[in-house]
Structure 1
């Protein structure tokens, strides 16, 4: 049995998830089927999904110990540089699919097993650290803006709660697509950072100078009323998260009078990941990276993510 170094959930701790994190040797993941391959991980990135797993949300006790991580890039058995699409078909899951680190070992390890169909070629102009940021947060933001939000029909976009991975990605992508972008944050320092990315930064709830065609909503109840008030007639309010409450008060008269569309989404497809990679390569778009840690300091990376001070993505360099 081959052994590798990995970061994994050993137990659950709802109040202090970092205490449930272990770093040590784990068996190399097995292939559940003949169409799976093993990828040598060169870089990965953290998501709040990893912290939720340590809290016991979305990860069943009978799956412990579980190697964490959804996002990664690396080298396949033929030497090709690839990005990993993290959703796998999973007949044993009620949803029919699962994300790496839920039912199958994740990416925070020297090697990870995935279906060969989940490998997307890495563009030569992007680093492993860059592309390791994209498969979860950035893919979600891309799908929110394009497939769901139809941003090509809009002139302006509102992004709620900029600073988090999805929201910051949405700001960068919407600016790159030539849209006027407004972004909210409670944190003055984060508003300054958002402005540097090309958006007009405003305090939560502030009246905008115009109504927008697309709203990127990842906050939830705390901002949803503002999202509806800021939406132009026929606008799309696209929801992918509810970090500040999942049961907002909803003014249905505004919804039907303004003919608003409220759309839910999560992640994206392999084809959309390929489109996102091409867009980043062609337009010179680079993910916003908060910090890069060597894998030997993975505990520090988790502490940084858990601190709430993150702006952009926390990346792990598996070669350092």
Structure 2
């Protein structure tokens, strides 16, 4: 089968570690099912995997990709929940100490086929295309959990999304607007600020710009470049939800500000199968849809990876397998 994979990681030149070519079709253990993929999407997790972060040499070769949609062995339209829990785990998927994502221990979705535990197959509503559904299991599920589970806010609250343009950020704008939040965004790019406004953000600011008021919560995936601004933007008692640090770790936690103003710093990673189902229900009910920057055939995966590495995207890269 055709797949995008890594056989030797490169910490300094991740794109050189990407291989697109034929790989053996995966075998399904007992309790696992095969999904014939129609579409898959890229995440920054895939770039980290090419660098070898969370992917030691003994697990190579590895097919990349966490997100995918296609048909199961009975011909039903499905999407794949990317979080694989330990056998017998019954709690929150994200709190299982033995959890992993597809493409960490198990072969991923940037391929014509993938095998996953039966519980990781989720029916795809007919209202969503395979390309739209393929955007959801990582970035959009992450955004859903950040906003609705972890932020402690409610519709009508003001939230700040740092770094408009990425998959999680665009998801936060769309979901926040659909659910009745006041959504502000930041970006270094004037073009991305304008596109965020067109997408539904109520206001857009340059990175680090002083805001006209304090916000109830900040959605933080950038890290070092925006951390100080995130803390300074919060009202007393506000919450910063952290789900990434693409620019590096925060240089200072600014603990005096945190305790003096009673701020909450909450970590958030991916989401549960149940949250993914609720996300699907929300999209069907509201008509909100994922933002797709571009669609490419799987054979041209390198183009999508290069655009993501260069920060050229507004939304998701979707790779089509058929």
Instruction: Please classify the TM superposition score into its range, dividing by the shorter chain length.
Output: over 0.9
Within the candidate set 6, 10, 28, 1:9 is matched to 6
> Could you tell me which residue of structure 2 aligns to residue 24 of structure 1?
21
Q: Any idea what SS the aligned residue of 2:154 has? A: helix
Structure 2 residue 76 is the aligned partner of structure 1 residue 80: yes
1:307 Cα deviation (Å)? 2.1
> Could you tell me which residue of structure 2 aligns to residue 260 of structure 1?
263
Distance 2:75 2:152 in 1: 37
Within the candidate set 101, 113, 116, 1:114 is matched to 116
Structure 2 residue 67 is the aligned partner of structure 1 residue 71: yes
Task: Decide whether the 8 Å contact of 1:222 with 1:248 is kept in 2.
Answer: no
Task: Decide whether the 8 Å contact of 1:154 with 1:212 is kept in 2.
Answer: no
Residues 123-272 of structure 1 correspond to what in structure 2 (within 5 A)? 123-152=125-154, 155-199=157-201, 200-272=203-275
1:248 Cα deviation (Å)? 3.0
1:89 Cα deviation (Å)? 2.1
Q: Any idea what SS the aligned residue of 1:152 has? A: coil
> Could you tell me which residue of structure 1 aligns to residue 99 of structure 2?
97
Q: Any idea what SS the aligned residue of 1:213 has? A: strand
Q: Any idea what SS the aligned residue of 1:297 has? A: helix
Distance 1:266 1:6 in 2: 26
Q: 1:71 to 1:25 in 2, by over 3 A?
A: same
Structure 2 residue 38 is the aligned partner of structure 1 residue 42: yes
> Could you tell me which residue of structure 2 aligns to residue 61 of structure 1?
57
Distance 2:146 2:160 in 1: 12
Q: What CA RMSD, in Å, does the superposition of the two structures yield over aligned residues?
A: 1.5
Query: Using CA pairs below 8 Å that are at least 6 residues apart, which structure has the higher relative contact order?
Result: 2
Distance 1:107 1:280 in 2: 23
1:212 Cα deviation (Å)? 1.1
> Could you tell me which residue of structure 1 aligns to residue 307 of structure 2?
304
Structure 2 residue 283 is the aligned partner of structure 1 residue 285: no
Distance 1:136 1:302 in 2: 16
Q: Any idea what SS the aligned residue of 1:104 has? A: coil
Distance 1:153 1:231 in 2: 17
1:281 Cα deviation (Å)? 1.1
Task: Decide whether the 8 Å contact of 2:156 with 2:180 is kept in 1.
Answer: no
Give structure 1 regions of 4+ aligned residues with deviation exceeding 3 angstroms.
none
Distance 2:177 2:155 in 1: 15
1:153 Cα deviation (Å)? 6.1
Distance 1:112 1:316 in 2: 14
Structure 2 residue 313 is the aligned partner of structure 1 residue 313: no
Q: Any idea what SS the aligned residue of 1:290 has? A: strand
1:88 Cα deviation (Å)? 0.8
Distance 2:13 2:73 in 1: 38
Task: Decide whether the 8 Å contact of 1:43 with 1:73 is kept in 2.
Answer: yes
1:90 Cα deviation (Å)? 4.4
